[in-house]
Amino acid sequence: MKASNYSINTLKEMPADADIISHQLMIRGGLIRKVASGIYNWLPIGLRVLQKIEHIIRQEMNTAGGLEVTMPVVQPAELWQESGRWAQYDEGMLLKFIDRHQREFCLGPTHEEIITDLAKTELNSHRQLPINFYQIQTKFRDETRPRFGVLRAREFIMKDAYSFHIDQESLEHTYRVMHDTYARILDKMQLTFRAVDADTGNIGGSASMEFHVLADSGEDKIAFSTESKYAANIEMAEALSPPNEVTEIEPIQEIATPNARTIEEVSSYLETPTNRLIKTLIVKGRDTPFVALALRGDHQLNPLKAERIGIVSQPLTMATEEEVLSVCGASIGSIGIVSLNLPVIADRSAAAMRNFICGANKNGYHLTNVNWERDTQYTNVYDLRDVAEGDPSPDGLGKIKFTRGIEVGHIFQLGQKYSKKMNAKVLDAKGISRVMTMGCYGMGVSRLVGAVIEQHHDEKGILWPTIIAPFHIVIIPINAHKSDRVNQVTQEVYAQLIANDIEALLDDREGYRPGVKFMDSELLGIPYRLVISERGLEHNIVEITSRKSGDTRSLPVARATEKIIELVKESLNQ
């Protein structure tokens, strides 16, 4: 491709509203342009990268036996009503509208309903199973706060796959195949990632794993073990029971804690670390009006874990200030678990404590040296909190550390959530009609472009892995208009590279200084740069520079093409 016939849309200025590096570089490099909040145009260079990622995904999905289909962007309400998600999906992220005949539709954020409805008509025998349909397609989620460019866009490209099975065992097999397929796809793009246990959220099902590309800018916190392969979304990681404390039990005491309302204020006023305190949270109960949750002062409540407790209402709902006052006889800052006429659920760590501090249910007072059994009882002990760094890993090997990740994939064992509601059955080997078991497997295709940049960039710009780089090499002739020789060698090398399927960009733009072309090629992350100059040709050489290492090597003109082909092919297989 000759740059003079192409569209290079780099910007010198840092875009004002781009807050993370991938967003900044995608705007500066002219990969995308904003049309509206969370809605982008993909310019030629960005689209080349996107299509290469699509190609990798398509190849790996086909290898894994996936069958490509295309389902519509616009989906009728009826199917979502059948599955029960029309009213509930993501509280408003479903963009709904009516057509000219006043029928309700939505823009598809996911396609479980459509595919299950399709499977219902197209699949009727166990002999057709297992089957795994996938598509690569535009989706829309009406995000409250789109941000980070393509990482949290409203309109985006996703690969979504849906598998159908006669039983759970078959599902689990395909689930593992998809897990390995995702790992291969991300490996091909040279991404450092973790597959983590995850919540199934509003998609549903019995088990799920998220694939996170590790990056400081990631929106998700991941817990992983320092010693093992264990990794989980923070909200999913189990906090183990610590051993019970063994100190001598001291006499309980009431002490004034004026103006100390938060855990930090009480801790500071009493000159005691926060981990000696127990905080009490009043939430709505399922069968009783309220339930008290007791957690160590330095720990964070995990709402997903709390919701799963039978006596707690779903969704988790905190009591209001007025309710707390009427139930405990004190304001939120001074409540505690002693003489509280409520079921008390203790977090595992809270349950292991002795001589702890908690509110006295009397405004401005706390109790010290409180002890379970002697002073108060818990109804039950559960894992209620988020894990913290330094906790033992749930698999018993090593300690928990945190990292941040960008979720680029999510695979689910859906089970029969959709197939049961929508009555998608096949005949089994005995001729008996059985509800199919399903899996689904999402991957954020456009999001991957941003995720790769988060891991592959330096202060000059992007550092594409060759396999998804918009071009393999940029050729920059120096003063070609003044030198017939430079011009001739340039044209020859360019033609030879193109003939050998090397994606070469010849930067023949007029009126641009070489320095500007160098900066553009660095910003755009083209893996190799070939400089052809009169000075070099005097010594019969051209110069090739690796974008990643920055190393420059001289190549004899006669062997340049051959050497470049070798280098590019090598880096494509890395």
**Footprint of a second copy (CB under 8 A):** 5-7, 9, 30, 33, 35-37, 39-44, 47, 50, 65, 67-76, 92, 95-97, 99-101, 103, 105, 107, 114, 117-118, 121-122, 127-128, 131, 133, 137-138, 140, 142, 144, 154-155, 510-511
Q: Which is nearer to a second copy, 281 or 448 (CB)?
A: 448
> Cα(217)–Cα(213) distance, rounded to whole angstroms?
10
Please state, in angstroms and rounded to a whole number, the distance separating the CA atoms of residues 574 and 554: 23
192, two tokens: 């450092």
Dist. CA 509–CA 487, nearest whole Å: 13
In the complex, minimum distance from the CB of residue 47 to a second copy, in angstroms, rounded to a whole number? 6
Structure tokens at 510: 């007029």
Distance between CA atoms of residues 439 and 175, nearest Å: 7
Q: Cβ closer to a second copy: 26 or 223?
A: 26
Nearer to a second copy, 293 or 445 (CB): 445
**Nearer Cβ to a second copy, position 328 or 474?**
474
Q: How far is the CB of 232 from a second copy (least distance, A)?
A: 31
Please, what is the minimum distance in Å from the beta carbon of residue 41 to a second copy? 5
Token output for 99: 């057509």
Nearest distance in Å: CB 305, a second copy: 30
Q: Shortest distance, CB of residue 57 to a second copy, whole angstroms?
A: 15
CA–CA distances in Å: residue 175 to residues 87, 106, 179: 29, 29, 6
Distance in Å, CB of 223 to a second copy, minimum = 32
Strand partners, 33: 41
Query: CB–CB of 424/219 below 8 Å?
Result: no
Cβ nearer to a second copy, comparing 121 with 574: 121
In sequence order, the 6+-apart residues with CB closer than 8 A to the CB of 194 are: 211, 212, 214, 222, 224, 231, 403, 405
In the bound state with a second copy, the residue whose beta carbon lies nearer, of 91 and 538, is 91
Nearest-approach distance from CB 420 to a second copy, in angstroms:
21
Which one, 35 or 432, has the nearer CB to a second copy?
A: 35
Instruction: Print burial letters for 189-207: b (CB count within 10 Å at least 16), e (below 16).
Output: bbbebbbbbbebeebbbeb
Amino acid identity of 291?
V
Shortest distance in whole angstroms from residue 107 CB to a second copy: 7
Instruction: Locate all alpha helices (DSSP H) within 96-246, ordered by sequence.
Output: 112-122, 168-188
Give the orientation angle of helix 44-63 with respect to helix 168-188, to 10 degrees: 140
> Residue 71 or residue 516: which is nearer to a second copy going by CB?
71
Which of the 8 DSSP states describes residue 87? T
